Chains A and B, each alone.
Chain A
Amino acid sequence: MPIEIPKDKWPGSVRQVVLGATAAEGGTRTSKVVVGGETCMPFMHFEGAIPNRPVVALEIRDRRPDDWSPLLVKTWENVIDDPAAWAKAAEEVGADAIQLTLSLTDSAGQPMSPETAVATVKAVLQASGLPLIVFGPGQSEVDNLLLVAVAEATKGERLALGICEDKNYRTIVATAMANDHVITARSPMDVNLAKQLNILISDMGLPLDRVIMDPTTGALGYGIEYGYSVMERLRLAALQGDAMTQLPMLVTPGYEAWKTKESKVGEGVPESWGDWLQRAINWETMTAIALLEAGANILVLRHPESLKQVEAAIQDLMTAPDMVSV
């Protein structure tokens, strides 16, 4: 029976955003990451173009984290006190980019100084040639203080800077503009809030091809369905031609999955939860895969095994199946 396959012809497409600048472009990165550019829903090769594959970044910290699952600490034990070594290790296990989160305080409990933050970022840049995403600790004033210093000290590297939120976006956007960086715009799991933040940023004059949006998601079992649907809706809106949603999406399944009890706790939990390490890796992997299907362009993970599985899935999904001719 001949079938006429219904193809969606979308008027819009996702903007292409470049992370990292090589020497030729005024930076020192040995590779760049290009995300976005698709003209169809995730992996619908038969009806549109997907010029760039989704990428996986690994999260590292500027110092030994206080609240990570012991499983993760064990995995990275050899490098966990040295962000530069950690970055190198992340590159070695196959990450496409590094995501460095700065801490509120240093290991002595003192407030993180801009000088220390800059030194850390520079060490990481030196150790790995991958594009770098830098997040502040998540408190407006500290974020502004640290990120401005980092942005100025790394002018031209085309880092992605976060966290830019609706109550605190002006300073970070201004410094990204002045120093040729990209920003990640985070909004709390709502289509409208995501779009509103993009409008505010665009109103400041930052071109939208220098913005990545982080619509925020929950982990599997902890609200993933909201983030999942928000992402699908954002992507549909982008393809329908809504300019303010046509940005690549960055999500942090590593952060989300590894803060759940399922991943953090090994003892005193129900037997039906199964093996701790396998469960934790599955939790992160499945959270990431679900978000990948919903349109994620950059997935920030924490465990090398999850990274391996997600990279393999991306490779499979990026191969256009021959069963349907375009």
Chain B
Amino acid sequence: MALSGIQIYKLLPQTNCKECGFPTCLAFAMKLAAKQVELSACPYVTEESIALLAESSAPPIRLVSLKSDGYETKAGNEVVLFRHEKTFYNKPGLFVKVVDTESPEAIKAKISAADRYVVNYVGIELTVDGFAIEAASGDPEKFSAAVKLAREASKRPLILVSRDPSIISAGLKALEAGESALIHGADKSNWEVMAALAQEHKAALAVISTDLETSADLTEKIRGKGVEDLAIDPDTTGLGAMLTFNTIARRMALKKNFKPLGFPIIVFPKDLVAATQAISKYAGFVVIDDFKPDEVYPLLVLRQNIYTDPQKPIQVQPGVYEINNPNSEAPVLVTTNFSITYFSVANEVEGSGLPAWLMVCDAEGMSVLTAWAAGKFDAERIAKSVKGSDLASKVSPKRVVLPGHVAVLSGELEEELPGWDVRVGPREAVDIPKFLKEAL
């Protein structure tokens, strides 16, 4: 179990020597508890403490990483059941499935299209992570050919799907040197051979079972053969069954430190709804049947949202937002990119029914007063944002409205923005409609 800062502190020398780079042993202990530093930074910690701390800091869910030329997809290392408790760390890999019975052209076309796919979400480029090749043919050669086709069309990591070791073996041989794929997978009857293959090819191995006891048995046996990078598949098409399986597996790993289930979960959802659930509820790898942008786009966005760190200040993209179709006479309102600040300002302006240009400045996600106090929201930055936009050519008269809390900046801003009429708006967002109606 993870130790608290005070518990770790008791294992440290308590000399406050500062050599670790922190002012006190307690400060260092709290950073250790938050996993933001390495214990090795302390030169005086005893062997005994190192052993105790190592045990407490081992990840309850193993980090499994699939690698190929230039790409890596990680799953695992999660520490909470609910994202607000800390955060979810490794976004589940989104894999698109192809079947080796399809024509080579179809396989190649599907993989190429998905491989090229990029969608921009709030300035982040989102893509799929890799491909799963399923051996429906039952023919090792066909499978091997499909794997080779995939490798021609994409460099992204692969999941090889078959319960037949001879087929998997053929597929693994078709891979490029140095990559680590995921074999899907092992069951009661084939686990031993599959484990040997995984070890030989440095591949990860998924175990497939609808019940948790079998899954745990399999992972234990396979680990006994020296294969550590595993995944577990609930092997179900039902939403309810998947949710229950995933939740119990995660709970066992986190709350009971039960190693046999401390692995990422791989899910083959039957439809978009099941994929949605898989992303929200604990899947580490998600394999979808079809590549459709109208499905992949929202899935990638959902994954991004669910795996946002709730501890970080919530930011919106800096830039100019148009509210109520502003024309050239509409004023330019200035605020910061802290999302709550932005939302409250935008809502009030929207609710007023009056048009405005909302200039959101990059204040590192701080509210107006905090950002001003910390020097992240000053006349220079505001002027830079205004100049960096094309507002000067869009509005006339050129009116810019500062939040009332930073009235002090009005003089400097006038100097920074010659030709602009600098006004001071209200301090609270609720007063914006009144201000827009009466003062402008």
Residue ranges of A at the interface with B (Cβ–Cβ < 8 Å): 1-3, 5-6, 43-46, 220-221, 223-226, 228-229, 232-233, 236, 262, 270-276, 278-279, 282-283, 285-286, 289-290, 293-294, 309, 312-313, 316-321, 323-324
Contact = CB atoms under 8 A, between A and B. Distances in A.
Given A5-B248, A286-B276, A289-B273, A229 B297 contact: no
A286 B302 contact: yes
B251 interface: yes
Residue with the greatest number of chain B CB neighbours at <10 A, chosen from A2, A271, A272:
A272
Contact of B211 (A262, A274, A283, A323): A323
A294 B302 CA distance: 14
Interface string B208-225: 001111001100100000
B239 A316 contact: yes
Given A232-B84, A286-B302, A1 B217 contact: yes
Cβ-closest 3 pairs across A and B: A274-B294, A274-B293, A279-B294
A224 B277 contact: no
A229 B84 contact: yes
Interface stretch (B303-311, B326-334, B404-412): B303-311
B314 to A, nearest CB: 7
Contact of B297 (A43, A274, A285): A274
Given A1-B213, A225-B306, A233-B84, 13 more contacts: A3-B213, A44-B244, A221-B121, A223-B343, A226-B314, A232-B83, A272-B117, A279-B298, A282-B294, A282-B298, A285-B273, A309-B273, A313-B239
Contacts of B213: 1-3
A272 B260 CA distance: 40
A80 to B, nearest CB: 23
A74 B301 CA distance: 27
Nearest to B308: A225
B353 to A, nearest CB: 10
Nearest to B310: A229
A5 B292 CA distance: 38
Contacts of A43: 240, 243-244
Contacts of A279: 293-294, 297-298
A321 B217 contact: no
B35 interface: no
B29 to A, nearest CB: 28
B281 A293 contact: yes
18 contacts: A3-B216, A3-B258, A44-B247, A45-B240, A46-B248, A221-B121, A223-B314, A225-B310, A226-B314, A228-B306, A229-B82, A272-B117, A275-B292, A276-B294, A286-B276, A312-B273, A313-B277, A321-B238
Nearest to B210: A323
Q: Is the interface of B mostly helix, strand, loop or mixed?
A: helix
Contacts of A278: 292, 294-295
B83 A229 contact: yes
Contacts of B258: 3
Given A229-B310, A282-B294, A321 B244 contact: yes
Interface in B169-191: none
Contact of A220 (B261, B302, B308): B302
Given A3-B252, A226-B314, A285-B272, A270 B120 contact: yes
B119 A273 contact: yes
Contacts of A293: 243, 277, 280-281
A51 B193 CA distance: 47
A271 to B, nearest CB: 7
B392 to A, nearest CB: 25
B27 to A, nearest CB: 29
B252 A220 contact: no
A275 B297 CA distance: 11
A220 B279 CA distance: 13
Contacts of A312: 273
Which range contains the number of B residues in contact with the other chain? 35 or more
B220 to A, nearest CB: 7
A225 B217 CA distance: 36
B273 A313 contact: yes
A242 B383 CA distance: 48
A19 to B, nearest CB: 25
Given A272-B117, A282-B294, A46 B306 contact: no
Contact of B220 (A1, A44, A262, A323): A1
Contacts of A317: 239-240, 243
Contacts of A282: 272, 294-295, 298
Nearest to A225: B305
B338 interface: no
Nearest to A281: B294
A289 B294 CA distance: 16
A278 B261 CA distance: 37
Contact of A286 (B83, B120, B272): B272
Contacts of A294: 280
Nearest to B295: A282
B293 A272 contact: yes
B299 to A, nearest CB: 8
B260 A1 contact: yes
Contacts of B299: 286
Contacts of A309: 272-273
Contact of B245 (A271, A273, A323): A323
B118 interface: yes
A102 to B, nearest CB: 17
A316 B305 contact: no
Contacts of B387: none
Nearest to A138: B351
Contacts of B310: 225, 229
B294 A221 contact: no
A221 B241 contact: no
Contact of B298 (A220, A223, A276, A320): A220
A316 B238 contact: yes
B298 A45 contact: no
B339 interface: yes
Contact of B276 (A5, A6, A289): A289
B439 to A, nearest CB: 21
A321 B241 contact: yes
